[in-house]
């Protein structure tokens, strides 16, 4: 980059593009507005410019302060006002107006400030003035709670499950049992059981893992909404005065206050105040199974399901955490290995080295979904002397996923799951060049032995596999070359198939899904999937159930 180009890029936008600033002024004046650069606010070093705009409204002139960012016009300007008659879509702390629901996505660099105000300001004002039924057509249906406008900038979060927030009206203060979790330089405080001043629990439910520590903190009800006059110090003084025996001088007090908790819906919200010489506050974030499920509504049925996952290596760990993310209710993890530092390139992280793999994966699952019920079976299935009760666990589950990459185990599982428990077998190939996912009972009626016979005949496709020798370390068991992100393609599809299967849908996915990430000679290709049903092989001597497909589907 030449020096002149770099200098031009560092110059403020109104100098590099003077025509744009001229166009902005002309458009504002054409719209009947007044515009004036605020003295001392056009800083060439920061690239920020501020202007005062008098915007014509019916019967008045609305005073606006507009701040253009240094990257203008690629990003939109911020428009603020001190006009307190505007209550919705107006940040009470900063004064910013929400002219665009998603400013960066909805802003176009060809838009002038005057265009933005002409198009959006009347809508914003109307949403403030019209009855709800009319205003609802003009705005996004999002709650504008206090949390929307107040941020602490600190790595501390207060979590509240909205399903646990109903309290008896006569209970105005007491104790709350919070869960604490802070694996890094952050801290999460989760509101659990809530008790009155006598210590009797009146609502709520404690958070399980990963919240490893719990503590009782005092809480107090504030029978009003927050106002712009409220500050952490003021609320802290109020709490200390109201609860002199409960609130420690440098402790934490939780406040329950009125707020908009849903679109134009009033309710109770929480905030925590850190005391001490300079009190600060953290407004609660709603979080819990229902909150998460609302973001992935297709998968709410997983909350009632129990999956047994055998093998928690690269495929299994990815499958487990994806299932936890998607809201699975209960998971049995089966693996007899421990995490080795040598394999963290495709499994759980270094911090889990030495743990049983099931425990390492369980921690990751809890982190993705507090509340998931996890059972660990730390056993190598099929090895002499390994105690487990899988043959009894499997019939009580809804689905089994075999990610152990062990043909002997796959055959045993397929037989053990027959005839009533669904089974998904996921396996990659050497080098993670591809892999396959097989689902039983099959649509085509074939069994695991039919699969092997069809593969032997090549009547089912073979995924590509690297011919490279194994990557070994010392004289221990050889491992394989292959990246986590390649196997993750396979793992995530296994989760898709499992989630579909748990709805009772046996028609969407074919019996055998084969993934190719390479050509047979090793050239990389975009992930390519083939789908085949698994019919009964004529040479198979095992018993077979009827096809899951209806005659119409078979046709």
Partner 1 sequence: MPDEEPTTAAHTEATQPDASPAPHAADDGRPPGPATEAVHGHPADTDDASNPGTPASPEPADALVPTGVRRIERTVHRRTTIEDVDETVVEDVPLTWAPPASAYPKPVG
> By CB under 8 A, which span of 163-171, 250-258, 406-414, 499-507 interacts with partner 1?
406-414
What string marks each residue from 468 to 507 as x (binds partner 1 by CB under 8 A) or -? ------------x-x----x--------------------
Cα 158 to Cα 167: distance, rounded to the nearest angstrom: 18
Span 331-360, contacts to partner 1 by CB under 8 A: none
Given the complex with partner 1, which of 254 and 405 has the nearer CB atom? 405
CB count within 10 Å of CB 134 equals 11
Cα 243 to Cα 241: distance, rounded to the nearest angstrom: 6
The least CB distance from residue 364 to partner 1, in Å, is 17
Among the listed residues 410, 439, 513, 516, the single contact to partner 1 using CB under 8 A = 410
Given the complex with partner 1, which of 88 and 496 has the nearer CB atom? 496
The least CB distance from residue 482 to partner 1, in Å, is 6
Cα 550 to Cα 305: distance, rounded to the nearest angstrom: 26
> By CB under 8 A, which span of 12-20, 192-200, 249-257, 308-316 interacts with partner 1?
308-316
Q: How many residues of this chain interact with partner 1, rule: CB under 8 A?
A: 38
Block residue for tokens 């650069």: 37
The least CB distance from residue 440 to partner 1, in Å, is 16
Q: Whats the size of the chain, residue-wise?
A: 555
The least CB distance from residue 476 to partner 1, in Å, is 16
Given the complex with partner 1, which of 272 and 497 has the nearer CB atom? 497
Given the complex with partner 1, which of 81 and 436 has the nearer CB atom? 436
| Strand 213-225 to 173-181 pairing | antiparallel
Residues in Cβ contact with 60 at an 8 Å cutoff, skipping those fewer than 6 apart: none
Residues in Cβ contact with 307 at an 8 Å cutoff, skipping those fewer than 6 apart: 323, 328, 330, 331, 332, 397, 398, 399, 400, 401, 498
The least CB distance from residue 406 to partner 1, in Å, is 7
CB count within 10 Å of CB 424 equals 25
What string marks each residue from 426 to 465 as x (binds partner 1 by CB under 8 A) or -? xxxxx-x--x-------------x--xx-xx-----xx-x
Compute the CA torsion angle 548, 552, 554, 555 (nearest 10 deg): 180
The least CB distance from residue 480 to partner 1, in Å, is 5
Residue 187's Cβ-count burial label (10 Å; 0-12, 13-18, 19+) is middle
> By CB under 8 A, which span of 15-23, 328-336, 425-433, 496-504 interacts with partner 1?
425-433
Among the listed residues 80, 291, 406, 416, the single contact to partner 1 using CB under 8 A = 406
Cα 295 to Cα 141: distance, rounded to the nearest angstrom: 15
Residue 432 sits at the vertex; the CA angle it makes with 466 and 436, to the nearest 5 degrees, is: 105
> What Å distances lie between residue 136 and 106, 127, 258, 262, 266, CA to CA?
19, 7, 22, 13, 16
Given the complex with partner 1, which of 86 and 426 has the nearer CB atom? 426
The least CB distance from residue 541 to partner 1, in Å, is 5
Smallest CA-to-CA distance from 439 within 425, 429, 427 is with 425
The least CB distance from residue 490 to partner 1, in Å, is 8
> By CB under 8 A, which span of 2-10, 91-99, 157-165, 311-319 interacts with partner 1?
311-319
| Tokens of residue 291, six digits | 């909150």
The least CB distance from residue 425 to partner 1, in Å, is 9
Question: At residue 309, what are phi and psi to the nearest 5 degrees?
Answer: -115, 120
The least CB distance from residue 468 to partner 1, in Å, is 12
What string marks each residue from 215 to 254 as x (binds partner 1 by CB under 8 A) or -? ----------------------------------------
| Strand 265-274 to 252-262 pairing | antiparallel
Give, rounded to a whole angstrom, the gap between the first and last alpha carbons of the chain: 64
Residue 419, interface with partner 1 (CB under 8 A)?
Answer: no
Given the complex with partner 1, which of 155 and 469 has the nearer CB atom? 469
Residue 149 sits at the vertex; the CA angle it makes with 143 and 150, to the nearest 5 degrees, is: 125
Given the complex with partner 1, which of 394 and 540 has the nearer CB atom? 540
Span 525-554, contacts to partner 1 by CB under 8 A: 537, 539-544
Given the complex with partner 1, which of 116 and 409 has the nearer CB atom? 409
Smallest CA-to-CA distance from 189 within 147, 151, 155, 231 is with 155
For 480-514, give the DSSP string: ----HHHHHHHHHHHHHHHHHHTTT--SSS-SEEE
* Binding residues vs partner 1 (CB under 8 A): 311, 313-316, 403-407, 410-411, 415, 426-430, 432, 435, 449, 452-453, 455-456, 462-463, 465, 480, 482, 487, 537, 539-544
């Amino acid at each position: 980059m030449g020096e002149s180009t770099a200098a031009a890029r560092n110059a403020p936008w109104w100098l590099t593009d003077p025509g744009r600033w001229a166009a902005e002024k002309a458009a504002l004046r054409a719209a009947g507005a007044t515009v004036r650069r605020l003295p001392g606010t056009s800083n060439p070093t920061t690239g920020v410019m501020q202007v005062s705009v008098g915007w014509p409204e019916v019967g008045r002139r609305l005073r606006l302060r507009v701040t253009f960012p240094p990257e203008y016009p690629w990003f939109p300007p911020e428009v603020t006002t001190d006009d307190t008659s505007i209550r919705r879509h107006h940040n009470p702390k900063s004064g910013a107006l929400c002219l665009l629901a998603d400013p960066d996505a909805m802003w176009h660099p060809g838009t002038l400030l005057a265009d933005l105000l002409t198009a959006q300001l009347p809508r914003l004002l109307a949403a403030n003035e019209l009855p709800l039924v009319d205003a609802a057509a003009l705005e996004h249906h999002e709650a504008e709670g206090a949390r929307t406008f107040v941020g602490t900038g600190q790595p501390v979060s207060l979590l509240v499950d909205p399903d646990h927030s109903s309290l008896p009206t006569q209970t105005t203060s007491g104790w709350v049992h919070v869960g604490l979790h802070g694996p890094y330089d952050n801290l999460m405080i989760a509101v659990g059981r809530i008790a009155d001043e006598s210590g009797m629990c009146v609502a709520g439910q404690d958070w399980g893992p990963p919240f490893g520590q719990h503590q009782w903190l005092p809480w107090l009800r504030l029978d009003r909404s927050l106002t712009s006059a409220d500050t952490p110090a003021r609320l802290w003084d109020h709490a200390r005065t109201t609860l002199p025996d409960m609130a420690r001088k440098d402790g934490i007090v939780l406040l329950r206050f009125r707020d908009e908790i849903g679109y134009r819906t009033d309710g109770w919200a929480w905030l925590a105040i850190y005391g001490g010489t300079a009190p600060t506050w953290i407004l609660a974030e709603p979080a819990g199974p229902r909150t998460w499920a609302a973001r992935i509504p297709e998968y709410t049925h997983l909350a009632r399901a129990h999956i047994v996952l055998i093998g928690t290596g690269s495929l299994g760990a990815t499958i487990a955490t994806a299932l936890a993310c998607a809201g699975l209710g209960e998971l049995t993890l089966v693996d007899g290995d421990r995490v080795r530092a040598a394999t963290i390139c495709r499994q759980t992280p270094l911090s889990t080295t030495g743990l049983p793999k099931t425990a390492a994966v369980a921690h990751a699952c809890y982190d993705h979904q507090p509340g998931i019920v996890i059972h660990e079976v730390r056993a190598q299935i099929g090895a002499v002397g390994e105690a487990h009760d899988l043959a009894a666990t499997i019939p009580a589950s809804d689905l089994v996923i075999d990610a152990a990459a062990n043909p002997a185990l796959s055959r045993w599982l397929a037989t053990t799951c027959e005839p009533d428990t669904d089974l998904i077998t996921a396996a990659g190939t050497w080098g993670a060049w591809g892999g396959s996912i097989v689902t039983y009972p099959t649509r085509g009626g074939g069994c695991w032995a039919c699969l092997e016979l069809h593969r032997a005949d090549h009547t089912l496709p073979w995924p590509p596999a690297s011919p490279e020798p194994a990557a070994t370390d010392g004289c221990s068991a050889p491992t394989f070359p292959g990246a986590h992100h390649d196997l993750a393609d396979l793992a995530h599809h296994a989760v898709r198939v499992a989630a579909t299967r748990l709805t009772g849908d046996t028609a969407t996915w074919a019996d055998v899904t084969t993934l190719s990430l390479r050509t047979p000679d090793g050239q990389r290709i975009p992930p390519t999937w083939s789908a085949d049903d698994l019919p009964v092989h004529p040479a198979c001597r095992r018993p077979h159930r009827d096809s899951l497909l209806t005659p119409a589907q078979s046709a």
